[in-house]
């Protein structure tokens, strides 16, 4: 095949809309999900366990769970309880014994009463979600086992935009926790109306006149949507619904849900943007090699792909199209107070973790994940574009309708907070 034909084929491929790249061959370079080096909190913990630098303790109530949470700095106040059978330990899950989920900024942990394993998803800056389990049997040297095919069937599918990531679902559950598939199920994000959230979950906390699908079981498979949402509203004591004794906390905190439903899709967006950028930069390198010009200017198609990836990150980080809150939301576990206290705080004591919880989740709507290894690990070419676009929004240069939800006061506050708290800002941000 002639060099001209090869180049025409390559250019035509690059002009395919970005949405067509939603499914990735994650096993190949430049992603190399299965064989690439892993650097996530679990791989690092396993190295420490192997070197006997740290030990996990086992107890009869929760096995290794409590020790794993403490070692990874995951708060028990983040506990959320799900009773729909949407996990591979589905035989352990029902409305009487829900599965518990805990999380921090880069780890998600699942636990079932009398479960065989502790389930973990850790966020790797280059690979995205990496899936592990830890056997609930006491041994001298606990070993986290990494899983690929069994987990990525759901967690690297079209629902997660083809990347290894995180999935939050809201369903109409029957009396044993099975989702009623003859009716609607919802993929839950920070953009979802509260009335569509938390089906199949227990939720504790207050939310005024707002209603959700939590704390309820469908009475009929013929009319699964015909249940009394008022009965599941503003529940502050879960012991009236289930036996909370087997769990580390008696709560399933509503504020933890709000944070979780921002964070999980934001992690997916970071992974997707990372993958897209790597593929675009690989294609750019191929074109330059074909032209025998390593310094050739960036093509419009490559630039569009990088811009698209940057916009994807920004839309999640700046809470574009966030579902509004219409009444004050208040948790009961202490999660909100612990989360907000973590900072970092600027010179005026402000933080991107400060909550609003009256009209929106956060007081200063820019994601705290901007401090994360997942963000810092984006390809430098992509990150430079994200920084420039974000600066344009915060300084008012970008007045597009996409970001009209941010007031001038919001933009200035976020700009000042980042200048005080984010390391390695571009020099242009300091002017």
Q: What is the pLDDT of residues 187-208, one digit of tens each?
A: 999 999 999 999 999 999 999 9
To the nearest whole percent, how much of the chain has pLDDT over 90? Answer: 81
**Which residue is associated with the tokens 């015909």?**
226
Is pLDDT above 50 for 145?
yes
The answer for residues whose C-beta is within 8 angstroms of residue 318's C-beta and 6 or more apart is: 365, 366, 367, 390, 393, 403, 406
In 3-state terms, what secondary structure has residue 112? Answer: coil
- Residues 56 and 67 sit within 8 Å (Cβ to Cβ): yes
pLDDT of residue 181: 85
At residue 162, the pLDDT reads 77
Q: Is the pLDDT of residue 22 over 50?
A: no
pLDDT given at position 161: 66
Phi, then psi, of 193 in degrees rounded to 5: -60, 145
Which pLDDT tens digit goes with each residue over 159-187? Answer: 666 798 999 999 999 999 999 988 889 99
How far apart, in whole angstroms, are the C-alpha atoms of residue 96 and residue 117? 19
By mean pLDDT, which of 115-119, 147-151, 225-229, 359-363 is the weakest?
A: 147-151
Name the nearest CA neighbour of 249 among 232, 237, 257.
237
Q: Give, in order, the Cα–Cα distances in Å from 123 to each of 91, 254, 302, 326, 387.
A: 27, 23, 27, 33, 22
Q: What is the pLDDT of residue 220?
A: 67
Q: Kindly calculate the radius of gyration of the chain based on its CA atoms and give it in whole angstroms.
A: 23
How would DSSP label each residue in 2-53? -HHHHHHHHHHHHTS-GGGGSS--TTSTTT-TTTS---SHHHHHHHHHHTTS
Q: Tell me what pLDDT residue 71 has.
A: 98
Q: What pLDDT is stored for residue 88 in this prediction?
A: 76
- 224 contact partners, CB below 8 Å, separation of at least 6: 172, 174, 180, 182, 183, 218
Q: What share of the chain is helix, strand, coil (3-state, %, to 5)?
A: 40, 10, 50
* Element holding 131 (H helix, E strand): strand 128-135
Bridge pairing between strands 144-147 and 128-135: antiparallel
- Closest by CA position to 164, among listed 89, 264, 268, 31: 268
Q: What is the pLDDT of residues 269-310, one digit of tens each?
A: 999 999 999 999 999 989 888 878 888 888 999 999 999 999
Residue 20: the pLDDT is 36
- Phi and psi at 349, nearest 5°, equal 85, 10
**Gap between the Cα atoms of 277 and 378, Å rounded:** 8
Tokens of 53: 């630098």
Which residue is it, tokens 């390695």?
Answer: 424
Q: Mind listing the pLDDT tens digit for each residue in 216-235?
A: 998 866 676 778 899 999 99
pLDDT score of 158: 57
Contact (CB, 8 A) for 81 and 48? no
Q: Confidence class of residue 25 from pLDDT cuts 50, 70 and 90?
A: confident
**Cα–Cα dist 225/87, whole Å:** 23
- Helix/strand/coil for 287: helix
Please tell me the distance from the alpha carbon of residue 264 to that of residue 159, in angstroms, as a whole number: 12
At 416, list the tokens: 């000042």
Strands 144-147 and 186-187: unpaired
Which candidate, 259, 170, 246, places its Cα nearest to that of 215? Answer: 170
380-394 helix and 408-421 helix, angle to the nearest 10 degrees: 140
Whether the CB-CB separation of 186 and 198 falls below 8 Å is answered with: no
CB atoms within 10 A of CB 401: 6
Residue 410 has pLDDT above 80, yes or no: yes
Alpha carbon distance 390, 384 (integer Å): 10
Cα-Cα-Cα-Cα dihedral sign, residues 227, 232, 234, 240: positive
Whether 12 has a pLDDT exceeding 90, the answer reads no
Residue 6 has what pLDDT?
Answer: 35
- Does the pLDDT of residue 157 top 70, yes or no? no
Position 17 scores a pLDDT of: 33
Give the whole-angstrom CA distance, residue 173 versus residue 216: 8
pLDDT at 7: 40
> What value does the mean pLDDT of the chain take?
91
CB-side neighbour CA atoms (13 Å) of 199:
30
């Amino acid at each position: 095949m002639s060099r001209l034909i090869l180049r025409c084929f390559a250019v035509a491929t690059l002009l395919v809309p970005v949405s067509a790249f939603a499914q990735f061959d994650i096993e190949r370079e430049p992603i190399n999900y299965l064989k690439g080096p892993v650097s996530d909190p679990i791989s690092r913990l396993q190295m420490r366990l192997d070197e006997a630098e740290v030990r996990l303790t086992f107890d009869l109530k929760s096995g290794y769970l409590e020790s794993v949470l403490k070692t990874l700095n995951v708060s028990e106040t983040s506990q959320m309880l799900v009773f729909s059978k949407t996990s591979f330990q589905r035989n352990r899950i029902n409305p009487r014994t829900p599965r518990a989920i805990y999380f921090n900024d880069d780890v998600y942990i699942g636990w079932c009463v009398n479960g065989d394993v502790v389930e973990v998803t850790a966020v790797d800056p280059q690979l995205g979600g990496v899936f592990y389990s830890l056997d609930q049997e006491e041994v001298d040297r606990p070993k986290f086992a990494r899983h690929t095919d069994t987990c990525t069937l759901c967690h690297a599918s079209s629902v997660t935009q083809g990347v290894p990531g995180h999935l939050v679902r809201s369903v109409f559950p029957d009396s044993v926790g099975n989702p009623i598939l003859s009716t609607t199920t919802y993929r839950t994000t920070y953009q979802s109306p509260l009335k569509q959230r938390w089906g199949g979950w227990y939720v504790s906390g207050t939310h005024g006149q707002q209603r959700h699908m939590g704390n309820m079981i469908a009475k009929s498979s013929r009319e699964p949507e015909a249940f009394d949402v008022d009965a599941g509203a503003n529940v502050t004591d879960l012991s009236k619904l289930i036996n909370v004794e087997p769990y580390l906390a008696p709560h399933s905190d509503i504020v933890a849900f709000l944070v979780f439903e921002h964070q999980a899709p934001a992690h997916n967006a970071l992974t997707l943007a990372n993958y897209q950028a790597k593929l675009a930069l690989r294609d750019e390198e191929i074109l330059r090699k074909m032209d025998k010009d390593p310094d050739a200017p960036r093509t419009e198609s490559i630039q569009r792909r990088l811009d698209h990836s940057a916009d994807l990150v920004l839309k999640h980080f700046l809470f574009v199209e966030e579902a509004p809150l219409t009444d004050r939301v208040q948790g009961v576990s202490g999660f909100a107070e612990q989360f907000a206290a973590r900072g970092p705080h600027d010179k005026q004591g402000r933080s991107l973790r400060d909550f609003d919880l009256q009209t929106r989740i956060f007081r200063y709507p820019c994601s705290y994940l901007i401090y994360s290894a997942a963000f810092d690990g984006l390809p430098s070419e992509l990150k430079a574009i994200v920084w420039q676009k974000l600066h344009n929004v915060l300084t008012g240069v970008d007045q597009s309708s996409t970001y009209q939800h941010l007031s001038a006061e919001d933009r200035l506050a976020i700009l000042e907070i980042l200048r005080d708290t984010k390391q390695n800002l571009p020099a242009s941000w300091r002017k």
